[in-house]
Amino acid sequence: MVQAPQRTAFSGPTLIRLLARLAEVEVTESRQPLSDRLSQWVHWTDAIALSTALNGNPPAVPSGARALSSAEENECARVRITLTNAIVGNQVFATRKRRGPAHAPASEAPMDTAIDYPAFRQTYLSIQQSMETGIGNLRGRLRAMLAARTPGMSRLAEVDAVMERALGVRERSLLASVPALLGGHFDRLRKAGQETPADDPASGDAPALTPGAWLDVFRKDMQSVLLAELDLRFQPVEGLLAALRTS
């Protein structure tokens, strides 16, 4: 029977907790202060730029700053909905029930054997690229609006720009490793699914798994990871929006 690994007690972001569970690793809270961890990720040139943004004179604010309008709010919502739909509506993640009889193969067992991970990996990478592009454009647009407000907001925009440059490479590197982690989860699920026949008498009173059930489990897990990654990537945009609403 295909069973999900036990959840870790780690209370970090949803994406990290999901990956820890799917990779079957135990994650513990870091005892290192956040400032110390950030110092390991920020290059010294970025540290200087960050210090300048925090302690220097804020950039001059142009006159005629435009207030946050429903257009910007709607654009942020539109981008998020578009990216969400690209995840939840993607046919690669459609279960056999959603695909319907017309898409069901004549023999499920050969389908399980033939399906391999690269198609899922390519889909994940493609959606990641869409997230990076769409959210990056939003972040730059909102930051430009923030920089045109008050000196304090202009300083905040400059800090956000420095942090995006400083942590962007690290973020891309870490998120680029997610497909490999999911590849290991795919292999474990497939192996467990192929080793446990649907009519295995050892399963007792547990409901019998239909052939290919492990693949539906994987599709749902991969979809959940992508949605959690979208939430994580959208946090800077939500922070800039919150700042604009108060300025």
Express each pLDDT in 43-62 by its tens digit.
Answer: 778 778 777 877 877 666 66
Question: What is the band of 232 on the pLDDT scale with cuts at 50, 70, 90?
Answer: very high
pLDDT at 208 over 60: no
Taking the CB of residue 84, how many other CB atoms lie within 10 A of it? Answer: 14
pLDDT at 3 over 60: no
Taking only the tens place, the pLDDT of each residue in 163-207 is 898 888 889 999 999 999 999 999 999 998 887 655 555 544 444
Give pTM, 2 decimals: 0.79
- Kindly list the distances between the CA atom of residue 83 and the CA atoms of 5, 92, 136, in Å, as whole numbers in the listed order: 28, 15, 13
Asked if residue 217 lies in contact with residue 10, where contact means CB atoms within 8 angstroms, the answer is no
The domain locations on the chain are 67-93+104-246
Asked if residue 74 lies in contact with residue 173, where contact means CB atoms within 8 angstroms, the answer is no
User: Which stretch of DSSP H or E encloses residue 167?
Assistant: helix 151-176
pLDDT at 247 over 80: no
Distance CA 110, CA 178 (A): 28
